[in-house]
Amino acid sequence: MSPDDTSPARRDFLRKSLTLIPAAALAGQAASGAAAAAPGHGAAAARDYQPTFFTPEEWAFLRAGVARLIPADERGPGALEAGVPEYIDRQMATPYASGSQWYMHGPFNPDAPKTMGYQLRLAPREIYRLGIRDAEAWSRKQHGKPFATLDAATQDALLAQFEQGEAQFEGVPSKVFFALLLGNTREGFFCDPVHGGNQGMVGWTLIGFPGARADFMDWVERDERYPFPPVSIRGERA
Amino acid sequence: MAKTMKKVDAVIVGFGWTGAIMAKELTEAGLNVVALERGPMRDTYPDGSYPQTIDELTYNIRKKLFMDVSRETVTVRNTTADGALPMRQLAAFLPGTGVGGAGLHWSGVHFRVDPVELRLRSHYEERYGKKFIPEGMTIQDFGVSYEELEPHFDFAEKVFGTSGTAWSIKGKVVGEGKGGNPFAADRSDDFPLEAQKNSVSGTLFGKAAEAVGYHPYNMPSANTSGPYTNPYGCQMGPCNFCGFCSGYACYMYSKASPNVNVLPALRQEPKFELRANAHVLKVNLASDGKRATGVTYVDAQGQEVVQPAELVILGAFQFNNVRLLLLSGIGKPYDPVSGKGTVGKNFAYQNLATIKAFFGKDQHHTNPFIGAGGNGVAIDDFNGDNFDHGPAGFVGGSPMWVNQAGTKPISGLAVPPGTPAWGSAWKAAAADYYTHHLSMDMHGAHQSYRDNYLDLDPNYKDAFGMPLLRMTFDWKENDIKMSRFMVDKMRKIAEAMNPKAIGVYAKDFGSHFDLSSYQTTHLNGGAIMGTDPSTSAINRYLQSWDVPNVFVLGASAFPQGLGYNPTGLVAALAYWSAKAIREQYLKHPGALVQA
């Protein structure tokens, strides 16, 4: 889709975001306007959020990246509007992100085949720290600019290189970094809003998942559209 | 310095289905029973309370109710020539931890067994000849018959509150044209509850299967079709198809679990004590090694505790039972080179494949968020030995079904093959197909082989410094042949639904066991039952051949994997073993079968 900067919602969203982003990230953020997600019809911005784990530079990458993985488009809001960056930043404070739910005793064999499952020593917090550093280095090497300042097509091409392992990363294989980013992005798009993502239940609304309704006694045998909007654990209604 | 507790009549390791069943049976027999559960206390409240439990991220994705692999896991290698690596994250299988075990977070598919599978080797040799069984395939008979187990299947269904449609009761056909399974073994009584309603997806599968000449039936489900009170006085509410079964504690008290269906009765029993956060390190043996004196465990504070007992029941998850036997020195470890030894032998899994059908918006609304874990429509035309395996050239059968258990967006969103994994094209496909797709599975039997086995890992240890269990495991030619055969059959059913697209997710020749993607938690073997102590670790009553006051329950007793889900047979074998303990062992403690 083509980026569209003319929507009032989009301009309003950018203005709100900018007021909270530290000065160091401003240049990148401002220039990324064209590259970040285009607004969908009626796409609302995610609420303001100040990251606690990600640095301003990392935050700019994360916002730009998730906006390409699940873009805002004619089908509706994307990952950015759903608050996926907030979700991922909040996840970084959980035991999951420090790897403490995984068996992390050596010896490690990072060259093991994929069928042996995850075999690196890195926890998600480290994968993000090293992966974003390497992604930015790769972006500058290829295009001379930070990822967030590139246009959408160029960002997509870079993400595809990460996905395929064609980008040369030093600290973490680019495929591993990409898989984590994509997995967390989907989680943040479709989780209950209690976790910070899926704000306004835009992810659930997109696909027709009714969230925490959890009672379909009268709908089991009906081959028809389920008509009720999703609800969240906190009782919000989309 | 270990603390020593007062001696009890019986100590049970693990409080899942088998531990709960045995605790109930042994306290009924008048024994003082202590059950030790490595994980925390769990129950419908607070672990399954609405709305907090309707949280896919916390449960399916961050795996709240499953085994904590940061503390203990397994190592895996494909062949004895490879170095084993630890399973660092849960994925391929999801054992439980905590009170209820995997019985708290299971789906609720509650089958019996195809009688042929209890005497698999004998049956194949009789019908197809000895040479039909491939070299290196080590399938065996269980040493117990369907007729012997039938009363226990029946009672377990009554305890679980199982919904289903009988085909025949005491030889009389009752389920023809009503959703009964014409291939099902005869029953002494009906299911305690009628079958649940069928989902749109299930009905579509049934119609398509019938159109291509097969015999669809209602899957037996331990999710209730109505309110129910079981023989222990435990009450269940009617399932509302919320779709949060597998990976969750059921908030509606509708899915059978040790917590809902047994524990409320045990709580009234003064002879029973349940200790959570009690991690058993080993079974203690008398100096002659022929008698267990109890177990040693580590409590929540890290204190080592000795629990003396007259009788030791291992009711942990399949591979934890095997590991405890190896750590305790009970039985002879299996050696894949000589084929001698029994503990660790015949480790088997289940052989699955999936086909997804994607419909147009105007074709069908499958609403896959509607579901119940045990609910579905299946065919058995290719299960067991219900067809001629001669021309097919492989051992094993597979039921096929739509088991719509509640497909959620993070873990279960499916898009047609060829869709990019991200970007606007993915997003559009996700939006177009989520409520218009269905998933069908072949849930195939898996055979045992000489070199698929379990032993202790020489390198990696758990949080208590004990060696991890090592799995040596890979798919064999027979498994892939069966998978391809079944997928061909299932594809015809999918095509009969006339979908816009079909996705096939199956193994091919050369496929290795993939630890990184979920398949099933139905692991089998390693402490198998049988009639000969040189080829089995436990006798037909699940009693250790080597240490007769140790009984080893659960799917570790299966000499190979079944076509059906294992829980029904696991429960029936627990009642079968309990009957032998109550009626024979307690009167004359010692070996129930002379070696």
Disruptive mutation site among B63, B64, B367 for chain A (greatest number of A CBs within 10 Å): B367
Residue type at B355 in one-letter notation? I
B244/chain A closest Cα distance in angstroms: 8
Q: Which residues of A are less than 8 Å from B431 in CB distance?
A: 75-76, 206-208
Chain B touched by A70 (CB under 8 Å): yes
Chain B nearest CA to A18, separation (Å): 25
Q: Is the peptide bond before B46 cis (omega within 30 degrees of 0)?
A: yes
Distance CA A187, CA A197 (A): 8
Closest-CA distance, B78 to chain A, in angstroms, reads 9
Please tell me whether residue A149 adopts helix, strand or coil conformation.
Answer: helix
**What's B452's DSSP letter?**
-
- Chain A and chain B share a number of CB contacts under 8 A equal to 180
Query: Which candidate, B482, B410, B413, B478, places its Cα nearest to that of B449?
Result: B478
Instruction: Give pLDDT, residue A43.
Output: 56
Smallest CA-to-CA distance from B253 within B61, B97, B67, B47 is with: B47
Q: Which residue of B73, B75, B369 is the best one to mutate when testing the A interface, meaning the one whose CB has the most A CBs within 10 A?
A: B369
Q: Which pairing describes strands B33-36 and B272-275: parallel, antiparallel, or unpaired?
A: parallel
Nearest to B23 by CA among B270, B195, B369: B270
Nearest 5°: CA angle at B82, between B78 and B87? 60
Return the biggest CA–CA distance within chain B. Answer: 73
Q: Which two tokens stand for residue B148?
A: 């012997």
Sign of CA dihedral A37, A39, A44, A45: positive
Beta bridge partners of B467: B461
- Flag if A192 and B52 touch (Cβ within 8 Å): no
pLDDT band for A3, please (50, 70, 90 cuts).
Answer: very low
B50 lies within 8 A of chain A by CB: yes
State phi, psi for B425 to the nearest 5 degrees: -70, -40
Cα separation values, B486 from A32, B81, B381, Å: 51, 31, 11
* Cβ count within 10 A of residue B341: 17
Q: Enumerate the residues of chain A whose CB falls inside 8 A of the CB of residue B463.
A: none
CA dist., res. A127 & res. A173, Å (int) = 9
Q: What DSSP string describes B253-313?
A: S-B--HHHHTHHHHTT-TTEEEESS-EEEEEEE-TTSSSEEEEEEE-TTS-EEEEEEEEEE
Residue type, B228: Y
- Tell me the residue ranges of DSSP E strands in B53-185: 74-77, 85-86, 168-169, 172-173
Average pLDDT of A109-137? 97
User: Are B87 and A103 inside 8 Å of each other by CB?
Assistant: yes
Peptide bond into B51 cis (omega under 30): yes
**To the nearest whole angstrom, how far is the Cα of B486 from the nearest Cα of chain A?**
23
Total of domains in chain B = 1
Structural domain includes residue B178: yes
Closest CA–CA distance from residue A161 to any residue of chain B (Å): 13
Distance CA B105, CA B387 (A): 34
Residue B572 lies in a domain: no
B215 catalytic per annotation: no
* Residue ranges making up the domain that contains B362: 174-218+351-444+475-511
- Picking from B57, B73, B462, B507 by the largest number of A CB atoms within 10 A of its own CB, the best residue to mutate is B57
Distance CA(B149)–CA(B111), nearest Å, equals: 13
Closest to A125 (Cα-Cα) out of A184, A170, A69: A184
**Cβ atoms B349, B183 nearer than 8 A:** no
Dihedral sign computed on CA atoms, order A86, A87, A90, A96:
negative
B218 φ/ψ angles, rounded to the nearest 5 degrees: -80, 125
Tell me the C-alpha distance between B257 and B259, whole Å: 5
CA atoms of B424 and B43, how far apart (whole Å): 42
In chain B, the residue whose alpha carbon lies closest to the alpha carbon of A117 is B516
Q: Is A164 on the interface with B (CB under 8 A)?
A: no
Give the pLDDT of chain B (595 residues) as one tens digit per residue. 799 999 999 999 999 999 999 999 999 999 999 999 999 999 999 999 999 999 999 999 999 999 999 999 999 999 999 999 999 999 999 999 999 999 999 999 999 999 999 999 999 999 999 999 999 999 999 999 999 999 999 999 999 999 999 999 999 999 999 999 999 999 999 999 999 999 999 999 999 999 999 999 999 999 999 999 999 999 999 999 999 999 999 999 999 999 999 999 999 999 999 999 999 999 999 999 999 999 999 999 999 999 999 999 999 999 999 999 999 999 999 999 999 999 999 999 999 999 999 999 999 999 999 999 999 999 999 999 999 999 999 999 999 999 999 999 999 999 999 999 999 999 999 999 999 999 999 999 999 999 999 999 999 999 999 999 999 999 999 999 999 999 999 999 999 999 999 999 999 999 999 999 999 999 999 999 999 999 999 999 999 999 999 999 999 999 999 999 999 999 999 999 999 999 999 999 999 999 8
**Backbone phi and psi for residue B278, each to the nearest 5 degrees, phi listed first:** -115, 100
Name the residue facing A116 among B85, B243, B426 (closest C-beta): B85
Both tokens assigned to A77: 């809001």
CB contact under 8 A, B427 and A206: yes
- DSSP one-letter string for B508-539: -TTPPP-TTS---S--EEES-B-S-TTT-SB-
Residues of A in Cβ contact (< 8 Å) with B421: 163, 182
State residue A17 phi and psi, 5-degree precision. -65, -45
Q: Which residues of chain A have a CB within 8 Å of the CB of B410?
A: 186-187, 190-191
Catalytic one of B110, B436, B437, B522:
B522
